[in-house]
Structure 1
Amino acid sequence: MKLLKRTFRVLLLLFLLLNIIAAFHAWKFTHFYAPGSFRNRLPEQMSVLEKAQMLLLGVRISKSVVRHTPEVSYEIVHLTTSNGLQLEGWWMPIPSAKGTVILFHGYGGSKDGPIPEAEYFRTLGYNALLVDFRAHGNSEGNVCTVGYKEAEDVMLAYNFVQQKGEKHVMLWGVSMGAAAILRAVPTYHLHPDKVILECSFATLTDAVKGRMRAVGLPGTPFSQLLTFWGGIENGFWGFNYNPADYAQSITMPALVCWGVHDTRVTRQETISIYKHLGTKKKELVIFEDCGHQSFCRREGKKWKQHVREFLIAR
């Protein structure tokens, strides 16, 4: 009996300790520090000691900084979230545009990341709008929910373009940006003409597992705890945040892109999103030389060909 009690106490202690560690991780993963406070490093770039320290205490992440601007003229625009945060965007219209493409960056990025993609859309005859998600770049805030609340940012950008009189809106997003689009369309009843989704995770738990893989750690059960605490700390149920499920509401044409060397998002996740899409007009493009990165920059010729054909298809 005493042995059972001791075993129970040890297990309980370990369970509590694991939850405390997970809560710290979740908080630091979703709360950014002031720009320049820390040197952001990819987990793949860390030493064994740094990874061990990150395992126990989590990693402090500085808010992203916008370092580049478009080479073409643009207008700085501001959008206001329901909790009063000011988001910053770059509006880049062209004469007699065929429509508008709104571009959304990934976790820890900023609106200067997809500048090459925006420039290509403009050469095809489309206006472009680049937006910093909340807590990224020049937008206000320090809390990131990996696409859950950022779905509102997608809606605000969409409404801005519609208020410009635009009737043909396309949405492009990478990683967290793609996940935010998938949630925004059904949540806010958006009706874009087409969507382009690159490197989206299938569930929040999958996103956490991807981060664990990056540091060479097993994803389960720690990823489940991070999903739980990440949602609780930010006011939502993390296990219900599943971009693959939202994909069922995507009834417009969709282009899905994924890189073979992606260590953050698996082929299985990508296939899940693709299969769940509620449209018959869909295409999956696999990039053999890419990882979790810009396909436009890495395999530009192939990316541009598929994007061009996708946009002109009826």
Structure 2
Amino acid sequence: MLLLVVLILNALFLYLQKRGSKALGGTAPQIKRDPGLDERTAEFLKLKKETWTIKSKFNDNKLVGWFTENDSDTTVILVHGFAVDHTSLDIHAQLFNHLGYNVLQIDNQAAGQSEGKYMGYGYIESRDLLDWIDELLKHRANDKIILFGASMGAATVMLTSGESLPDNVRAIIEDSGYTSVEDILSYHCQKRYKIKGRVMIKGASMISKFRAGFFYGQADCQKALAKNHVPVLFMHGKNDFTVPIEMEKKLSTCGNFSRMVYDSLGVHIRSYYVDSIKYQKTVENFLARYL
């Protein structure tokens, strides 16, 4: 009986964390973008990019990133979401390039060209983001740094905020992030399968510690933000059914740091697509205040 339980929990772990998992949903919805965004993104993709590689201190996996120079002393590190790769944020990379910043787009573990079997729901990725910050400072020691993350990437930058960061890190922007791994998995269990699933999630967490190196409880964004001192911009869509808007309220009201909040009527990570003028203006105002 014990062996059967372990096998079931291991299967659940693989479903939740293996490369390419669809545990948080399938193909992203096709959303018509505001006029000009596709053209600007296409132009951005033509720009010269340097390929950077590092080795994760967490588990020695090789990680890959792409740096686009823009003759600026500020660089934005973009962290993508669950079961996608850096190209999912090309449109956001275009935005920061358009605003005059350098951009560093990275492939998380178990995504794109980076090595790794298992995704970390923001925890493993937050360890790696610290390595990427160190790598950026080796190349550009005086750069100011902005951390931008979407969905799981948003959880990543929030989890990183609770660490001892170099003074170069001036601002954090999270788009559509969740409160914790346990919360988001429980939400999807109830929404998609009509079960609470907390016990099963706790069990999968134990397998995760053995196979991926972390417990789910280590990925709690509210606890990380309670230790944060970097200004944060919270950006969410009221029609997000992947990460419920209620999570934004919990995130944006904890901790003791400077913050701004932006809401749109967009779906998951698509606010910029349909509300680009206000989205861009909010980002500009936030960075003008805190850089």
Q: Is the TM value for this pair above 0.5?
A: yes
Counterpart for residue 63 of structure 1: none
Check 1:90–1:203 CA distance in 2 against 1; reply closer, same or farther (3 A cut): same
Verify: 1:90 aligned to 2:66, yes or no. yes
Counterpart for residue 175 of structure 2: 198
Verify: 1:297 aligned to 2:273, yes or no. yes
Alignment size in residue pairs: 271
Q: Post-superposition shift, 1:44?
A: 6.2
Counterpart for residue 135 of structure 2: 160
- Deviation per CA, 1:257-297: give whole Å up to 9, x if none: 11112222223322111111330x21111111x12223222
Match of 1:131 among 106, 112, 121: 106
Counterpart for residue 248 of structure 1: 226
SS in 2 for 1:195: strand
Verify: 1:76 aligned to 2:54, yes or no. no
For 2:23 and 2:134, the matched residues in 1 are separated by 35
For the 8 Å contact 1:208–1:227, the answer to whether it is kept is: no
For 2:56 and 2:125, the matched residues in 1 are separated by 10
For 1:98 and 1:294, the matched residues in 2 are separated by 28
For the 8 Å contact 1:132–1:138, the answer to whether it is kept is: yes
Q: Which has the higher contact order (CA 8 A, sep 6+)?
A: 2
For 1:128 and 1:248, the matched residues in 2 are separated by 28
Normalising by structure 1, we get a TM-score of 0.77
Verify: 1:262 aligned to 2:240, yes or no. yes
For 1:225 and 1:210, the matched residues in 2 are separated by 17
Check 1:161–1:235 CA distance in 2 against 1; reply closer, same or farther (3 A cut): closer
Counterpart for residue 273 of structure 1: 251
For 1:230 and 1:17, the matched residues in 2 are separated by 17
* Structure 1 runs, 4 residues or longer, greater than 4 Å off: 15-20, 40-45
For the 8 Å contact 1:101–1:129, the answer to whether it is kept is: yes
Verify: 1:25 aligned to 2:12, yes or no. yes
Moved more, 217-226 or 73-82: 217-226
For 1:269 and 1:144, the matched residues in 2 are separated by 21
RMSD across aligned positions (CA): 2.6
For the 8 Å contact 2:76–2:101, the answer to whether it is kept is: yes
For 1:152 and 1:31, the matched residues in 2 are separated by 18
For the 8 Å contact 1:135–1:143, the answer to whether it is kept is: yes
For 2:23 and 2:121, the matched residues in 1 are separated by 18
Amino acid at match of 2:220: N
For 2:209 and 2:244, the matched residues in 1 are separated by 22
SS in 2 for 1:114: helix
For 2:267 and 2:13, the matched residues in 1 are separated by 25
For 2:23 and 2:211, the matched residues in 1 are separated by 24
For 1:291 and 1:277, the matched residues in 2 are separated by 26
Determine what percentage of the aligned residue pairs are the same residue: 20
Q: Post-superposition shift, 1:312?
A: 1.0
Counterpart for residue 238 of structure 1: 216
Structure 1: tracts of 5 or more residues without a match? 1-12, 46-67
Q: Post-superposition shift, 1:106?
A: 0.4
For 1:155 and 1:235, the matched residues in 2 are separated by 17
For the 8 Å contact 1:184–1:190, the answer to whether it is kept is: no
Counterpart for residue 58 of structure 1: none
SS in 2 for 1:283: strand
Q: Post-superposition shift, 1:190?
A: 4.2
Q: Post-superposition shift, 1:145?
A: 1.4
Structure 2: tracts of 5 or more residues without a match? 28-41
Amino acid at match of 1:155: L
